[in-house]
Structure 1
Amino acid sequence: MKRLTVLMLLLLGSAQAKTEIKIWHYLLAEPSPTLFNQFAAEFNKSQDDYVIKPEYAGGYKEMGQKIIASIRANTTPPAVLIDNAFFVRLMQGGQLKDLDKFTGVIPESLSSDIYPVAWNIGKNKDGRFGLPWAASSMLMFFNGAAFKAKNIALPDTWPEFYAAAQKLTGRGTSGVSFITESWIFASMVYSQGGDLVKDGKPNLLDPVVVESLQQLVNLKNKKALIPRATSEVQNAVIDFLRTKTFMVVAPSSAFPLAFKNPNYLSLQVSAYPLPGSSIAGEGQIAVMKSASDAQARGIMEFWKFLLKPENLKTFANGSYYVPVRKSVARQLTDDPILVAAVKSFERAQNLPAVPQLDDWRLDLEIAIEKALKGNVPVEQALKEAQQNALK
């Protein structure tokens, strides 16, 4: 009888055991990581089957390197929140768990409410491997007081942007800070009809790529642009806040970190310049192939929890990420930053789903820095990048 009682207690304890799910993420700038941890804690309390454990794994590049190392060492976490480019690399490389068998738990009313640009990137011909959540869009941030003082209209097109940068330039000041990050430049290229990929190969000598970089170099040569490397993002922000520059291109999610507190600025924003669409910046929640089915189901349930309207609104209002649900995004009408972010996201597109693009964009960043900071001729810098990308 005693043995039977012990056995029953062991079985009861086993039945009540929760499935633990570690999820790596790249969220660093507050309040995003705090909100993510808060959502995980609330989800854990709301049910008895799963325990979500968020863990910061570094920025985009650092996290990518860490994931590659974990794959080689067979120590991958069950789940990850990763940027689109590296997500495609993992999906096409067969490193992620096919979630199609679990998508039956997703109501059609939910999936049809998600922006196609966010929903479609998570799948390929073999199945669904990603679930969208943290979406960001490219914005123009302006010192409105400077524009008003010089009677300059906020630019809606790239020619107007170039002209405004020159009009705002004066003694000791430049019109714009430009961060040499591939996503920012890629958005510039695609919004003008260019393409970084052609027939599955790098297309870094596309005429629009060459012209876009040349225009930036022209502004720098006229002292209307201060180039900042990806490691100098904070310097670009300081340039703007100290009125050394009056325009800066940045994702909506950068707003809380960089621009939310400078009350002395007449801050204004707009969606990315016309005529075309910019590049959507999103994070996909994915399940590594090594995860158990129970862990995959837990991530699906956690994702649905994250996409509840009240949670998406809370995250958007704090982090300035765009809600991936159309019905929620269009309710954000009180904050001009979020209004512009939604407008920009609604006309955004994804980068081509080519896994090598994750490497090619690093070659592109080197070319941008050479042209803007090293005085290397534009075509020479891009030619070297194209050759390296083809290796």
Structure 2
Amino acid sequence: MPRLSLSVLSALLAVTLPCAAGAQTPVRVEFWHAMNGVQGEIAAYARDFNRSQNRYEVVPVAQGSYRDLLPKLETALKTGKAPALAQLEFTQFPALAQAGQLTDLSGFVDDLPAALRSDIYPAVWKAGELGGKNFGLPWNVSVPVLMYNAGVLRSSPAGWTWTALEAAARKMATRSRRPLVVTAEAWTFEANVMSRGGSLASAGRPALNSPEALEALTQLTRMTQGGLAQYRSLTDVAGAAFDFARGQNVLVLASVANWNDARKIPLLSVGVAPFPCEKASACTVPLGGGTLVVPKGTPAAERAGAQAFWQYLMAPERLADWVRATAYVSPRRSATPLLEGWYAKNPQIRAAHAQIGRAAPRATTPDSGEWVPLVERAIEQAVGGKMTPKAALDAAQKAAK
């Protein structure tokens, strides 16, 4: 019988000893997430997982938004107090992975059953990769959509191009109504660019002033300054919701995961359509959402617990429940048949989710996260009239390089 190496033996002991110790001493697996709105559902998943076995105790901790969570994780990594599992937005993990702060999970992924690996959309896997290695495990996946006030716009804008959207906004606009909401938000702007056949990255380098980016920002600026669109700060959620409900604004670019929140707005009948597509032959959408990572230095037993919990979350029936609760897209194809009844009641969400068939991961280079504020500043400066769209994007590109 071959002898086990000391490192392999240590890893095996780390995983098996908690079980031998019995249910009284489960390994604590802290999970930081950015899902404040559905933290009750996540707590329930953790509770059910903990009851299903006696090796691990998953402890979920809501940490605010993605933008709130990242600096907290960076601080925890410096102080040696990082959780065993954390949720990061797709553009956030590459810099940490490049800096050696995240665990390479490639071996774990390679050992997964083929039925699970192949059931997850390839673009979703790729969204958690850097340099050919897996640093992120998929879970919450979103696609961009065009939400609309169905009390004002009675027919669905499904199939609209950006040209059609501008023409429709011109017909709906009045002295008090600016139909389209424009925000300085990088992901929906990237979707705007990709829907025109363009990209904000080329060969791993920034392309923030690409022809398609200029075309997109020029249109948004033209519509804003011409009374067809209204700029809204990302911090002005309450005001935007109020104006959307009363019909001052009619169209908003958003994540499909915002659908549940939009439906809670009083006196609003909200509709959802796939994202506008300017060039059908080259149209795609960027994946949104986050990936689950294991910080570097996580003890073997905690890492095993984090991986076991992820596999628990990936069960098709659990993913179907997650989709119904959040409107996120399932990363696994096999969960879709379990959603037939729900889709029958929500056909617009079915159409929105179908976009995952033409979805692509966002740029995952170590500095891609730094492009986000540069893009958002360019949007703000252009639609606010402080700079021309070209000057704003050129400045962003120069800063990104």
TM over 0.5: yes
| Corresponding residue of 1:386 | 397
- Is 2:322 the partner of 1:307? no
Please identify, of 162-171 and 100-109, the stretch whose mean Cα deviation from structure 2 is larger: 100-109
TM-superposed CA distance for 1:145, in Å, is 3.4
Structure 2 distance, partners of 1:267, 1:152, is 11
Instruction: Report how far residue 104 of structure 1 moved.
Output: 5.8
Q: Which amino acid aligns with 1:22?
A: E
Q: Distance in 2 between matches of 1:12 and 1:320?
A: 36
1:120 matches 2:160: no
Q: Which residue type is aligned with residue 365 of structure 2?
A: V
Q: Contact conserved, 2:19 with 2:26, CA < 8 A, in 1?
A: no
Output the CA distance in 2 between the equivalents of 1:146 and 1:256.
Answer: 20
Of 25, 35, 47, which residue of structure 1 is paired with 2:33? 25
Equivalent residue for 2:323, pick from 309, 316, 320: 316
Matched, 1:361 2:369: no
Alpha carbons 1:60, 1:82 under 8 Å: kept? yes
TM (normalized to structure 2)?
Answer: 0.88
Structure 1 unaligned spans of 5+? 1-10
Report the counterpart of residue 328 of structure 1 in structure 2. 335
CA contact (8 A) 1:173 1:243 kept: yes
Aligned residue for 2:173? 169
State which of 87, 98, 119 in structure 2 corresponds to 1:81: 87
Distance in 1 between the 2:177 and 2:197 partners? 31
The equivalent residue for 1:243 is: 247
2:49–2:312 CA contact under 8 A, matched in 1: yes
Greater shift, 336-345 or 77-86, is seen at: 336-345
Judge conservation of contact 2:130–2:365 (CA < 8 Å) in 1. Answer: no
Q: Which amino acid aligns with 1:61?
A: R
CA 1:245/1:13 → structure 2, altered by over 3 Å: closer, same or farther? closer
Q: Which range moved further: 287-296 or 192-201? A: 192-201
Structure 1 length normalisation: TM-score? 0.90
Cα pair 2:286 2:361 within 8 Å, conserved:
yes
Q: 1:331 to 1:12 in 2, by over 3 A?
A: closer
The answer to whether the Cα contact below 8 Å between 2:77 and 2:295 also exists between their aligned partners in 1 is: no
Deviation string 1:340-374 (CA, Å, 9 cap, x unpaired) is: 33112221111121121101111110110111124
Compute the displacement of 1:105 (Å).
5.5
Alpha-carbon contact 1:177-1:239 (below 8 Å) kept: no
What SS class does the counterpart of residue 245 from structure 1 fall into?
coil
Does 2:280 align with 1:270?
Answer: no
Match of 1:201 in 2: 205
Q: 1:387/1:353 Cα in 2 relative to 1: closer, same or farther (>3 Å)?
A: same
Distance, in Å, in 2 between the alignment partners of 1:388 and 1:12 is 50
Measure, in 1, the Cα distance between the counterparts of 2:231 and 2:137.
35
Following superposition, the deviation at residue 270 of structure 1 comes to 1.0
Contact 1:117 1:349 in 2 (8 A): yes
SS at match of 1:303: helix
What is the CA–CA distance in structure 2 between the aligned matches of 1:49 and 1:56, rounded to whole Å?
23
User: What is the CA deviation profile of residues 120-150 of structure 1, one whole-angstrom value per residue up to 9, with x for unaligned ones?
Assistant: 22234463221100111111112233223xx
SS in 2 for 1:20: strand
Aligned with 1:35 (options 30, 35, 41): 41
Q: Kindly provide the amino acid, as one letter, of the partner of residue 174 in structure 2.
A: G
C-alpha deviation, 1:21, in angstroms: 0.7
Using the TM superposition, give the Cα deviation of residue 287 of structure 1 relative to its aligned residue in structure 2, in angstroms: 0.7
SS of aligned partner of 1:95: coil
Name the residue aligned to 1:6: none
* 1:220-261 alpha-carbon deviations (Å, 9 max, x no partner): 122110111222234332221121111111101111222345
Residue 85 of structure 1: SS of its match in structure 2?
Answer: coil
Counterpart position of 2:188: 184
The separation in 2 between residues aligned to 1:305 and 1:124, in whole angstroms, is 25
1:107 alignment partner, one of 103, 113, 116: 113
User: Hey, what's the Cα distance between the residues in 1 that align with 2:19 and 2:110?
Assistant: 29
Equivalent residue of 1:147, what SS?
A: coil
Contact 1:253 1:320 in 2 (8 A): yes
Match of 1:71 in 2: 77
C-alpha distance 98-75 of structure 1, shift in aligned 2 (>3 A): same
SS at match of 2:236: helix
The equivalent of 1:255 in structure 2 is: 259
Cα distance between partner residues in 2 of 1:364 and 1:296 = 35
Secondary structure of 1:230's partner? coil
Distance between the aligned counterparts of 1:91 and 1:386, measured in 2? 24
How far is 1:155 from its partner? 4.9
Residues 158 and 79 of structure 1, relative CA distance in 2, 3 Å threshold = same
Checking the alignment, whether the CA contact within 8 Å between 2:272 and 2:349 is kept in structure 1 is no
Once the 2 structures are TM-superposed, how far is the Cα of residue 198 of structure 1 from its aligned partner? 2.4
Distance in structure 2 (CA, Å) of the matches to 1:87 and 1:23:
16
* Aligned residues of 2:141 and 2:331 also touching (Cα < 8 A): yes
Aligned residue pairs total: 375
Contact 1:84 1:281 in 2 (8 A): yes
Pairing partner for 1:373 from 370, 384, 398: 384
Letter in 2 for 1:222: G
Once residues 399 and 214 of structure 2 are traced to their aligned partners in structure 1, the CA distance between those partners, rounded to angstroms, is 17
Distance across 1 between alignment mates of 2:224 and 2:169: 10
Q: Distance in 2 between matches of 1:235 and 1:330?
A: 39
SS in 1 for 2:146: strand
1:218 is displaced (CA, Å) by 0.8
Quote the Cα distance in structure 2 between the aligned partners of 1:153 and 1:84. Answer: 28
